[in-house]
Amino acid sequence: MPAPGAPPATAAPRTVLACGEVRTCLLPAGQALDSRAAAQLLRLRADERVLVSERPNLYGRSPDTLTGVDCPLPSANGARIRAVGTVAARAALTEGRVLQTSAYFTLPASGPDHRRPWGDYLVRPAVVEPLGKLPYDAVAAGLLDGGRHGDLDVGLIAGGLLTRLLRHPLLDQRPPLRSRQTRLRWVALTAPPGEAPALERFTVAEDELRTVRLRVPEDIPAADLAGLCDDLALHDWLLTTLVRVLDGIRLGPAAPGSWPRTSGDGELPPVVGALRPAVDHLLHLWMPRARVSGRLAPLWEALEERPGFTRQWLALVQRVRDQLTLHAIPPVHREVEPAP
């Protein structure tokens, strides 16, 4: 044991940056997977068990897989900093319905000037070490903006894992509604000692890309940060998808060939046909903070305040229910001609 107060012999330089990317999509299967099937889908490694929990909702998470990397880090000022280490990636399935893959790593403030033997990197999973000193502000900005071709791209690792999972024979490739994948990129900078974790920025950058910038105390594990960002990505995807379902409904007579085209709907009015999959597959999934670690849970407050995630969700859900209620009324009483 080291003497009290003395640094341990193998003291790693302190972590100054954590980052990751989350891909979120609807599981392309006609029926949601039950917990056994979820465990089967998420068994990425034979030697480690899948975490499955049923409270407060059905949730499965794969063991972490590691990907070795040795490439330049993206940076906002064009500096080329080579970095070596491993990126962790994992997959999660919520209520057997929403599939997410998430890749992440942390960066220490500095590393040795030359590459070390692989074994040294493998003993510290999900740490990518810069060769030399890390200009962390420029790298944080570079990570959020996405780097040049050839730079370390954690999104590729998450995307590759998602592609692999989507090919799984358990999936019948019959998604019950039309939806799009979203990507959420995040970075977490270290907060000064004594400060509470903070969500500095949440942006909807493009149609499918969101970026999150956090500032958190150094001792919060990167896996917990990835867990928070998975949760943000899941709920952002739910909002995005439900908004699009409602955007797609045409009030009034339907165009032929509109989604969904399954013949099982019989003579359902088109609005009911369009909203039904949302009721069956989406509305029960809203549960912010279900699996966010205690110290990070308060970060949700910022999003609830502005833009108000849950507020928007409740308004959308109410709109779905109002439309369905309206369509329970026979058309002859429902379709009111505007008064002249």
Partner 1 sequence: MLVFAASDKGGTGRSVTSANLAYQRALTGDHVAYVDFDFGSPTAAAVFDVPSALRGTEERGLHSYLEGEVTEPASIDIWRHTEHPVLRARQNQSGRLVLYPGDAGGGEFATGEEALERCIDLLLRLNSEFDLVMVDLSAGRSYAVDLVLAATAHPQMRHVSYRWLVFHRWTRQHVIAAAGLVHKENGILRSGVDRGHDENTLQGNIRFVRAAVPDPESAMWAQGSPAQAAWMQSCNRALRRLASDQHIGDSVVLGTVPLEPILQWREQLITEEDVLATQIANKETLEALEEIARRLTDDAYWGLL
Which residues are near partner 1 by CB under 8 A?
Answer: 26, 28, 156, 159-160, 163, 166-167, 172-175, 178-181, 207, 248, 250, 255-259, 261
Select from 226, 230, 228, 237 the least CA-distant residue to 181.
237
Residue at token pair 């993206």: 74
CA dihedral over 314, 208, 60, 306, signed as positive or negative:
negative
d(CA 34, CA 40): 10
- Say if strands 209-216 and 182-190 run parallel, antiparallel, or are unpaired: parallel
Residue number, 2 or 257, with CB nearest to partner 1: 257
The least CB distance from residue 185 to partner 1, in Å, is 15
Residue number, 178 or 276, with CB nearest to partner 1: 178
The least CB distance from residue 205 to partner 1, in Å, is 14
The least CB distance from residue 231 to partner 1, in Å, is 23
d(CA 22, CA 174): 23
d(CA 62, CA 165): 11
Residues 6 or more apart whose CB falls under 8 angstroms from that of 92 comprise 42, 59, 60, 61, 62, 99, 100, 101, 102, 230
Alpha carbon separation from 182 to 113, 185, 206 (Å, rounded): 37, 10, 10
d(CA 197, CA 228): 12
Residue number, 77 or 258, with CB nearest to partner 1: 258
The least CB distance from residue 128 to partner 1, in Å, is 20
The least CB distance from residue 49 to partner 1, in Å, is 28
Residue number, 10 or 173, with CB nearest to partner 1: 173
Residue number, 160 or 269, with CB nearest to partner 1: 160
Q: Residue 221, Cβ neighbours under 10 Å: how many? A: 13
Residue number, 99 or 143, with CB nearest to partner 1: 99
d(CA 188, CA 177): 34
The least CB distance from residue 84 to partner 1, in Å, is 22
The least CB distance from residue 28 to partner 1, in Å, is 6
Residue number, 14 or 180, with CB nearest to partner 1: 180
